[in-house]
Amino acid sequence: MKIDIYKSTIRGDKYLSVLSGTDVSELKLPEDTDTDTDTDADADADADADMLSLSPFKTSVELDANRNMIGLDQEDIKNQIESRGYAMHRAAIISNTTQIT
């Protein structure tokens, strides 16, 4: 499955993925909750105002279960796209540092 990934221009850790070639302006996203309270790395299904302004991030990304992709839960994205035509997710890099004394 090839996907195109769009990034929220309002909040940089929120992403929308669709099958490659999909016109995101024609998607019927739910007008639902603010996912700011989500603590999961991959925000759940609901859209919020942050997803109303998107910018292309990567195109024609091949999902391949045999290849790890940083920041993408490929199985979850595939399942979301198959069930509703798009996937909403988050990606963030968290750095844990330890002070050496």
Predicted confidence (pLDDT) per residue in 6-52, tens digit: 999 998 899 999 999 999 989 888 765 444 444 444 444 445 788 88
Residue 93: partners with Cβ closer than 8 Å, 6 or more residues away: 71
Domain 2-90 top-level CATH class: alpha beta
Beta bridge partners of 18: 4
Alpha-carbon distance 54 to 8, whole Å? 5
Six-digit token string for 30:
């739910």
Alpha-carbon distance 66 to 35, whole Å? 30
Domain parsing of the chain, residue ranges: 2-90
pTM to 2 decimals?
A: 0.75
